[in-house]
Amino acid sequence: MHADRTTVQIERCLDRLRQGDAAARRELLDRACHRLRQLVRTMLADFPDLRRWEGSDDVLQEALLRLCRALDEVAPASARDFFRLAAHHIRWELLDLARHYFGPHGPAAGRRPDDAGVGQALAAAAAPSSCEPERLEMWTAFHEQVAALPDEERAIVDLLWYQGLTQAEAAAVLEISERTLKRRWQAARLRLHAALHETLPLET
């Protein structure tokens, strides 16, 4: 099965890493960096102005470097540990990036509506004419809310979204049934949706 193959590949990589194979670490890092880039692209999907920097921006490069350093210092015991660790760092890098783009010195600075809320931002995020600052603010809130999810739900968001695994792969890593995974994944997203609305209630 494909799901097993991914986990087995990661486990093999980790084995090789423990035996001092530097190439194995490289493969793991590449995997995490690749995913970080993909997520940045997702985050910036509706921001033509910002997407131009996607490949060359120093901030992204720094984020990638930090991710590498973080993963470089530890040797995860299992595939599951690796995913958890990588997802954690990716999440924080993304959060940083969102703050960077959205912060007082970011390219979106100065365009922030005074009274924008995440609820509105969330609605705007799904609209083609969404305002960039609102969406970025929402991303910041999103990453923070993921970090605040109950462990078993966050683990699933980590694997499926931050790590880009398929549902079958994620279920294999967590050693749970796909049905359970689907339930938790749905619960996590509904909880995130509610949290994002509650954190900054909808404008009326």
Binding residues vs another protein (CB under 8 A):
41-43, 45-46, 122-123, 125-128, 138, 142, 161, 182-183, 186, 189-190, 192-194
**Minimum distance from residue 39 beta carbon to another protein (Å):** 9
**Between 79-102 and 167-174, two packed helices, what is the crossing angle to 10 degrees?**
120
What SS3 class is residue 19? coil
Between 70 and 132, CB nearer to another protein: 132
Minimum CB distance to another protein smaller for 109 or for 194: 194
In whole angstroms, the minimum distance from the beta carbon of 43 to another protein comes to: 7
Nearer to another protein, 105 or 179 (CB): 179
Q: How far is the CB of 26 from another protein (least distance, A)?
A: 28
Cβ 39 vs Cβ 90: under 8 Å: yes
Closer CB to another protein, residue 109 or residue 190?
Answer: 190
Overall size of the chain counted in residues: 204
- Asked whether the beta carbons of 181 and 15 are under 8 A apart, the reply is no
The CA distance from 149 to 187, in Å, is 10
